[in-house]
Structures are given as C-alpha cells and as structure tokens.
Chains A and B, each alone.
Chain A
Amino acid sequence: MTPTLTSFLAVSAALFCTGLLAALSRRHAIFILIGIELMLAAANLNFVAFWRFGPEPQQITGVMVAIFSIAIAAAEAAVGLALVIAVYRHYRTTSVDKLDQLKG
C-alpha cells in the first residue's frame, strides 16, 4: 500500500501541533521562534502534498508557494533572532515572562 493524502495531512497536523506546543508552553524566546518555524514547515508540507495529489500537477503553484514560503520564513527567522539579541542586550534575559515593562 502507498501513503495517501490523509497520512500526509495527519503528519502535517502533528507537526503543526508540536510547533504550537513549543510556541505556547516554553518561556524562552528562542523556543517560541523554533515553534513558529515548525508550524511554517507543516504548512509547507501541506502545500507540496496538495500539489502532488491534486488533479492538475502541471500547474505547479503549490511548489511555488512552498518555495516563497521558505524564503519568507528565512526573513522572519533573521528578524526574529535579531530582536532576541536586541532584547537580550537591553534586559540581559530572553525569558518572555520577565519582559513585562509594557504591563499596566
């Protein structure tokens, strides 16, 4: 038997929820970025899987969107990690619980 689209979507859903777990339950800012990267990777897997199983494989929009999504994720990671370094330089911590200066 060969894997169906359902199995790919199930793996992608599990990957997305693992990313959600990392983004919601960790206190370190870099863990939150790791979680966001995992969620973006799950979305990419969905794009490529729907292209592969779709009715018109000559239209390669799914692959194109995945490539652009990877490029945008790289830009997001660069800016996010620069923000982490800037925050660390200012507050000497990267725990998001301690960054409560804006709290009323």
Chain B
Amino acid sequence: MSAVAFVLISILTLAGALAAATLPRLIHAALSLVVTFLGMAAFFFLLGAEFVGLVQVFVYVGAVAVLIVFTILLTRRDIEKDRGFNWSGAVIAIAVFTGLIWAILRTPTLAMVAPQIPPLTVRRIGEVLMTGFVWPLQCVGLLLTAALIGALILVREEKR
C-alpha cells in the first residue's frame, strides 16, 4: 500500500467532498460528488477490496449520481436563489471533526500497518453471500423492491 497513492486519493476525495458541500450551483456539486465517489472506489482498490470498489462505481457513479442529476434537472426552476449558508452547521461540523480526530489520535493501537493477506476473490465473496449472508441478501432484495415500488408511487401523477 503506497503512501503516495494514499495521499493523492485523499486529496482528490476530500476536495471533491468539500466542493460538493459548498459549491453554490447544484449541478456543479453533483459532478463533484462523482469525483468523490470515484475517490472512494480508489480507496477500496487500495485496501484490497476490488469488488466493493467496482460495486461503488456501478451503483454510485452509474445510478445514484445520474439519479441526482435527473432530479436537479426536473426541479430546476427555483435553483437560482440558493442563497444563504447556515454557519452554525459549519461550527457543528468542525466541532464533531475535532472530537473525532481527538479520539482517533488518542488511540495508540490504531497506528498499525496493514498485515499481508491473501487476495480477496469474488468467488469467496459469492460463497459467503450464499451461505452465511443469505438471509440479509434476501432482505436487501425485498428492501430494494419495496423502495422501487415506493418511489414509483411517490412520483406518480395525482388524479385531480
């Protein structure tokens, strides 16, 4: 695991996240969010979980980002006046960040390097998914179906 790659991916991801949180134009923020998601996928590749990285790209960049852009374009009429930035939110976020960093840096056992592990194959993930995690898998399938039907009902045209 190389330190240069880690630093580069960190800068890319955090810059994308900051842009997504603070840019005034909604469409720019959505595109910065895509950069952040790609950085997250690169983190997963760096950590040796290639399958999760691919799922991240497929689901987030392929589906969620496109969904967000579509929603922005459908609700475009009142975007111009997105004035006002609530500074109390920034204060709370900085306070939470300080607390988290304090707790992380105070824990000396976290400062360890990654052990050597055998590569994680998709075959192994499939085996675990079909044996130990079969009930969560079914529940997620049910949840996705319910979410799909719920979203369709929510956006259906009302009869007047």
Contacts and interface: CB of A to CB of B under 8 A. Distances in A.
B115 A57 contact: yes
Interface in A39-89: 41, 44-45, 48-49, 51-53, 57, 60, 63-64, 66-68, 70-79, 81-86, 88-89
Summarize A's interface: helix, strand, loop or mixed.
Answer: helix
Q: Bin the interface of chain B by size.
A: 35 or more
Given A17-B94, A64-B128, A49 B47 contact: yes
Contacts of A66: 44, 49, 52
Contacts of B88: 24-25
Given A17-B93, A45-B40, A48-B47, A82 B155 contact: yes
Summarize B's interface: helix, strand, loop or mixed.
Answer: helix
Interface string A4-29: 11111111011111111111111110
Interface of A: 1-11, 13-28, 30-31, 33-35, 37-38, 41, 44-45, 48-49, 51-53, 57, 60, 63-64, 66-68, 70-79, 81-86, 88-89, 92-95
